[in-house]
Amino acid sequence: MTSFELIAVLLVLTAVFAWINHRLSVLPHTIGLLVMGLCASLSVVGAEAIWPGSILFDDVSKLVEQINFKATVLDGMLAFLLFAGALHVDFNGLRSRGFTIGATATLGVVISTGVIGVCFWLAASALGVDMPLPWALVFGALVSPTDPVAVLSTLREVKVPADLEHVIKGETLFNDGVGVVLFAVLLAAAMGGTLEPLHVAEMFFIEALGGAVLGAVTGYFAYRAMRAINDYPIEVLVSLALVAGTYTLAARLGLSGPIAVVVAGLLIGTRGARDAMSAETERYLFSFWTLIDEILNSVLFLLIGLEVLILRYEPSYAALALLAVPISLLARFLAVGSPVMVMGRFRPFARGTVPVLTWAGLRGGISVALALSIPEVAEKSPILAATYAVVLFTLIVQGLTLRRVIKWVLK
């Protein structure tokens, strides 16, 4: 199957499932697509169990295997989704909570990685699953950052206090860049490399700060280009070039592409909208990126459900995968609770900040992509099973109950 045919199949499936979910009005759009994709995958798996060797299972599995999930998400969709998300975020609101956002997006990810890694290692040992501590920490790194796509799409369905919303959005936009770097470092160590704290700190500093500077520079050039003209098709094209060019250049320079496009998106969404765009351009440009966000979100959530088809599931890993869910919740609670407790001595937080931040810690495509990128080692299967358990629980259970949790906590 050619690349065009593969894209066509995915778009047709996404459109059909989205239409059905909308007509039934049962679930929120993105979660509905995830559940329908998951049900379709499980139906095919069930058909294979009843009629072994069925052509349907082989054909659909080959179709899904053709999709390079890591490249599709981390090297394709993520840049555009992050820019679209940052474009609609209030920069002044983020700046008012900048220190808290920075602490939860960096220190919080490190705390979560450590807690998940150690607890996952202990759980695996208790269940008789061979899981060395370095590989348990790799799992901790890939499920610690919240997924900006999942979180931002869910927040559209839920109303939270403005101050708390700024923290949630800011953290989820920036912590995935930290998580990807930490994952790469721990993966190299698990594969036999050395783990030098000074070198790790240097990598974080260069990638994160360098990505922010790059995004500010490219965003400023795009802002000046938009300000010099008044032609919305060209200005939309400039924004597309900004995202693709910034993300690609960051990868070439060894900088954080996610952080770079987030900074660029914040600049265009605030200063660009205020000083460089006419009312017509602003309307078209923001509508264009909203549409891009919705389409890519839909395809991504469907892909997460379909990827179950090629998940190498072993029944012996079921207990460990289930234990990974409460472990990740505990780690999330400690990761957001520690910074908020320290910051709370200097400035007040909205009531229920910690439980809401904990329950809003959704994981999604980024975690799955990182898990699938692990080399073919014995530890990959249990890690992949545990990752899917955490992702599905956070997206379906936490995503569907987040509104009720917020109302209960904030009432």
Report the pLDDT value the prediction gives residue 193, as an integer from 0 to 100: 67
Task: Place 48 in a pLDDT band, splitting at 50, 70 and 90.
Answer: low
Could you tell me if 10 and 77 lie in one domain? no
Q: Distance between CA atoms of 119 and 325, rounded to whole angstroms?
A: 11
> Tokens representing 10?
């995915």
218 or 67, greater pLDDT: 218
Amino acid identity of residue 316, one-letter, is S
Model confidence at 57: pLDDT above 80: no
Model confidence at 53: pLDDT above 70: no
With a pLDDT cut of 70, the percent of the chain lying above it is 92
What is the pTM for the complete model shown? 0.85
Question: Which CATH number characterizes residue 90's domain?
Answer: 1.20.1530.20
Domain boundary at 16, 31, 65, which? 65
Could you tell me if 198 and 286 lie in one domain? yes
Model confidence at 249: pLDDT above 80: yes
What range defines the domain where residue 56 resides? 3-65
Report the candidate in 313, 177, 151 with the shortest Cα–Cα distance to residue 250.
Answer: 177
Could you tell me if 54 and 167 lie in one domain? no
Could you tell me if 297 and 359 lie in one domain? yes
Could you tell me if 263 and 139 lie in one domain? yes
66 or 156, greater pLDDT: 66
Report the pLDDT value the prediction gives residue 241, as an integer from 0 to 100: 96
Domain boundary at 15, 33, 65, which? 65
Could you tell me if 374 and 319 lie in one domain? yes
Q: How many CB atoms lie within 10 A of CB 301?
A: 29
Amino acid identity of residue 258, one-letter, is P
pLDDT digits (tens, 9 = 90+) for 307-339: 777 676 677 788 999 999 999 999 999 998 888
pLDDT digits (tens, 9 = 90+) for 260-303: 999 999 999 988 888 888 989 999 999 999 889 888 888 888 88
Could you tell me if 19 and 166 lie in one domain? no
Model confidence at 54: pLDDT above 70: no
3 or 210, greater pLDDT: 210
Could you tell me if 149 and 181 lie in one domain? yes
DSSP string, 310-349: G----GGGHHHHHHHHHHHHHHHHHHHHHHHHHHTTTS--
Give residue 384's region: left, alpha or beta (phi > 0; psi -120 to 50): alpha
Q: How many CB atoms lie within 10 A of CB 101?
A: 24
Domain boundary at 20, 41, 65, which? 65
Could you tell me if 224 and 356 lie in one domain? yes
Amino acid identity of residue 54, one-letter, is S
**Residue 5: which residues within 8 A CB-CB, separation 6 or more?**
none
Q: CB–CB of 117/208 below 8 Å? A: no
pLDDT digits (tens, 9 = 90+) for 84-114: 888 888 787 777 777 888 888 888 899 999 9
pLDDT digits (tens, 9 = 90+) for 111-121: 999 999 999 99
Could you tell me if 211 and 126 lie in one domain? yes
pLDDT digits (tens, 9 = 90+) for 178-237: 888 888 888 988 887 666 777 677 777 788 889 999 999 999 999 999 999 999 999 999
Report the pLDDT value the prediction gives residue 56, as an integer from 0 to 100: 62
pLDDT digits (tens, 9 = 90+) for 130-156: 899 999 999 999 999 887 767 777 777
Could you tell me if 42 and 117 lie in one domain? no
The alpha helices in 192-278, defined as continuous H runs, are: 197-227, 232-253, 257-267
**Across all residues in the chain, what is the average pLDDT?**
84
- Structural domains of the chain, count: 2
Could you tell me if 187 and 140 lie in one domain? yes
